[in-house]
Amino acid sequence: MRRTALTLAALALTAAPALADPSHGLWKTQPDDNGNFGHVQMQTCSNGRICGGLVAAFGPNGQPVPSDNIGRAIVWDMVPGTNGRYADGKVYAPDRDKTYSAKMDLRGDRLGVSGCVFGICRESVWTRAR
């Protein structure tokens, strides 16, 4: 009995990474109008939806730059769907200081992020950083 319990516990621990959402990980944002970009760490939030926070900011030359937005939520409340689609979330654009209603489309190591506010929509493609 003890051996069975230990085996089941080991299987549960090794299966956990396989259950992670494919959007999890570090993503490099598309450069903004000024050439700045960031790294966003995506994960599952406590409500079971996908969220991501800015963990690093970079200037147009690719060098790290200080930013008041580090640690800020960039993506939140994304509801995982089928075929790599996510909906009903929000995305914050630091370069415009605006929050958009958003959706995402995951295709391999590319994450399409689009958002709209008052009929104005923006789209960008993020690439997996690791």
Spell out the per-residue pLDDT of the chain, length 130, in tens.
444 333 334 434 443 444 689 999 999 999 998 999 999 999 999 889 999 999 999 999 999 999 999 999 999 999 999 999 999 999 999 998 999 999 999 999 999 999 998 888 889 999 999 7
| b/e code 27-54 from CB counts within 10 Å (16+ = b) | bbbebeeeebbbbbbbebeeeebbbbbb
Q: Which pLDDT score, from 0 to 100, does residue 11 have?
A: 38
How far apart are alpha carbons 89 and 106 in whole angstroms? 14
Reference 102, options 88, 112, 122, 82; nearest CA is 88
CATH 2.40.128.520 fits 21-128, yes or no: yes
Contact 57, 66 (CB under 8 A): yes
pTM above 0.75, yes or no: yes
